[in-house]
Chains A and B, each alone.
Chain A
């Protein structure tokens, strides 16, 4: 998968072909043959090798995934066109993305049940005022029913409602679980149906909404089935955070902190300084008050998004298993599942990160001062920094699992300063245990 080296050392008995289209037909053309100016050349290539046993072909095709992540205000204001047409590419108008003339606009919308309770009437009004023929499906999208059955339920309704293959994206409004399930359903329908994500929690705003991953749980394992199909667009509206309970805002802050610790000192300092304010104000900046703290909501979310996009875009399908965004995700999956539902995802991530900060310190990658600053920041964000179920045994088995699933290397992201990190494969058992001891001594309640 993704073996591009073939382009560089083509074997002697192998011929490289380009693919050229004339009118409706594609044809293979050898590398140096003449290609007319009216012809369309594909970025795909076919390499043909002849052997005694027959012919061998290698197809190399790039598929371009393009998606938008757009900040907006008042997404559900009927005058705001974003939700309906924000996904269309302006420089390239094509029949695929614009409304088919003389046809009413149709949209299939899946909303998390709790979100529907609060925003349902606004959502309904939005589509009514804009004359959209709409089907709104309100579903209880929780971790426990994040399953193929739920995806199928959505697919049945989608199929009955009947949307255009390309021009009528499915819309998902809710937290990470909702976005993941709808994303999977959309990627399966007709092998690929465009969809839009509207995250309503801080966690999904920063994390689930800006990458390509979709998924459901299977056989008691988190996200065992899924796909890497991004939405055509994600719309980020901080006003949804207004109705999020404080604990869930902390939950989202954990993922922001993750990016800060991995690669952005300024973001870390913002969270350190304005964490409490962000929690108190629920990320609602009062635009009439011109002060640094009132910009902290947009500045911090923006930095979190950009740092996340930087890490996800070059590795959309996880060809490279070395991923900084895995920080906080080495031990937390097992921890989260073990104590489900008592820890939220971000809380488990933070406990993992807190332990790893001690590991970093033990390895000499962080100073005592840096370690303490980080832990204080976490406490300031009202996140748990220790948990009794996070035993040395759980840590060890998580690392074993990691080894197994990552091609034999543990690939542990660790901070090596404030806002910078590297991936380590050789952290010793001694370091891990002495870090664990110190962590427990200093942080257990």
Chain B
């Protein structure tokens, strides 16, 4: 970002003021005009070639993440109005006499379980709605699916700003709808209602949207957040055990990276949390709340990934390749856990984790019924993943590694070949099922 740098004397900084509907620029010295001041600035520099302007424009992204219960109960306002602040709510209900419209995209699986209740909700509130069920699985997470959604949104005809699209489903559904919404009219507000644990703690609280492309995971997408995410744990009641474990992997990730208390909670209560499907209990509330908080802490300051150093990348250096290679054999969280488990061994061999700490992490993962090893996660795949990482991260590995239980650092140096292969050997010898 350009600053008024004394070594670049020919640059002038202009403020932008709005006077009676017209924006005018005004240099710092010239304080004459009064008007509404923008946060945006224009810097002008003259040279022999001509003039060069640099525009610096901050765009404020605001979004809400709201925990709620019984979101599909028709008496609960959240699903329809939860995205508004109180003052907007008052304006909204008095402003338009016309019927409220909502376009809803729902996971096919979720539709089978909750479709009737979703319809009842909107019927009870006299909303004009369209529910689009989609088979939102990893395999069809594509631009074709996005186009399909866009065609339906376009035909249904929603207001540009006041009728957000609602996505109800797992991470794939939320990602795909988010991308469609960010493209339509260049930006259409949307709402996320995650129905899986994984989506609840991960996909739903950041800005990322996306689809796969040319064999690469999430190769196309945007960083446009929803205006609101509604977190309702009651959806977990219908989740199969494997899906619950899948979500726990992302919670464990945050615990390992930055929250010892969360790790100890998972260690002590992991199986109970799984059995109870994270329904009402202090442990379940604490677990989900801390998972969200730690995730928001890491995402909010780096919403558009300006900084490629990201603790939340833990478990995501090797897993993309692994996941795509064995698709659909491993769920996302499962692949993440295998990656994390290997990294824990690497951490240990680099002297960052003691053997006790390593043992505790592994046992915790076992308690969460997550896979710890996979035969397709070969040393070769690891090498390839790390060189991809190097390529996509501006020439540095940026590897998050735990440096204790609930703390971590990001390492930029290249990992020596022998450390990697020793880690892989140890990891395999201790955890591969065949050799037990």
Instruction: Give A residues with C-beta under 8 Å from B.
Output: 1-6, 19, 21, 23-28, 42, 44-46, 53-73, 82, 89-92, 95-96, 100, 148, 152, 155-156, 159-160, 164-167, 187-192, 213-215, 218-219, 221, 223-228, 230, 236, 262-263, 298, 302, 305-306, 309-318, 322, 324, 404-407, 420-423
Contacts of A23 in B (CB 8 A): 409
Min Cβ gap B257→A in Å is: 8
Interface centre among B3, B50, B225 (most CB of A within 10 A): B50
Contacts of B223 in A (CB 8 A): 63, 191-192
A422→B5 CA distance, assembly (Å): 37
Contacts of B187 in A (CB 8 A): 1, 227-228, 317-318
Contacts of B408 in A (CB 8 A): 24-25
**A68→B300 contact, CB < 8 A:** no
**B21→A313 contact, CB < 8 A:** no
Q: Is B61 an interface residue (CB 8 A)?
A: yes
**A314→B53 contact, CB < 8 A:** no
Known A69-B55, A230-B55: A28·B293 in contact at CB below 8 Å: yes
Q: Which of A5, A26, A223, A224 contacts B154 (CB 8 A)?
A: A224
Contacts of A55 in B (CB 8 A): 67, 289, 292
Contacts of A156 in B (CB 8 A): 214
- Give A262's nearest chain B residue, CB to CB: B22
Interface size class of B (residues with CB under 8 A): 35 or more
**A57→B296 contact, CB < 8 A:** yes
Contacts of A73 in B (CB 8 A): 49-50
Contacts of A224 in B (CB 8 A): 154, 184-185
Min Cβ gap B402→A in Å is: 11
**A46→B395 contact, CB < 8 A:** no
Q: Which of B59, B69, B161, B393 contacts A165 (CB 8 A)?
A: B393
A96→B216 CA distance, assembly (Å): 23
Q: Tell me which residues from 151 to 186 in chain B have a Cβ below 8 Å from any Cβ of chain A.
A: 151, 154, 159-162, 182-186
Contacts of B213 in A (CB 8 A): 155, 159
Contacts of B218 in A (CB 8 A): 191
Q: Which of A155, A313, A422 contacts B40 (CB 8 A)?
A: A313
**B301→A21 contact, CB < 8 A:** yes
A69→B400 CA distance, assembly (Å): 38
Q: Which of B40, B222, B293, B395 contacts A188 (CB 8 A)?
A: B222
**What string of 1s and 0s marks CB contacts (under 8 Å) between B280-323 and chain A?**
00000100010011001111111111000101000000000000
Min Cβ gap A96→B in Å is: 6
A306→B52 CA distance, assembly (Å): 10
- Give B221's nearest chain A residue, CB to CB: A191
Q: Is B42 an interface residue (CB 8 A)?
A: yes
A96→B392 CA distance, assembly (Å): 11
Contacts of A223 in B (CB 8 A): 186
A72→B51 CA distance, assembly (Å): 8
Q: Is B429 an interface residue (CB 8 A)?
A: no
**B222→A63 contact, CB < 8 A:** no
Q: Is B75 an interface residue (CB 8 A)?
A: no
Known A2-B59, A54-B69: A91·B22 in contact at CB below 8 Å: no
Known A92-B1, A188-B220, A189-B220: A421·B300 in contact at CB below 8 Å: no
**What string of 1s and 0s marks CB contacts (under 8 Å) between B1-21 and chain A?**
111010010000000101011
Please give 8 more A-B residue pairs, beta carbons under 8 A apart, in addition to A192-B223, A215-B186: A1-B62, A24-B311, A25-B257, A46-B296, A65-B56, A69-B55, A191-B209, A309-B53
Q: Which of A82, A159, A164, A219 contacts B219 (CB 8 A)?
A: A159
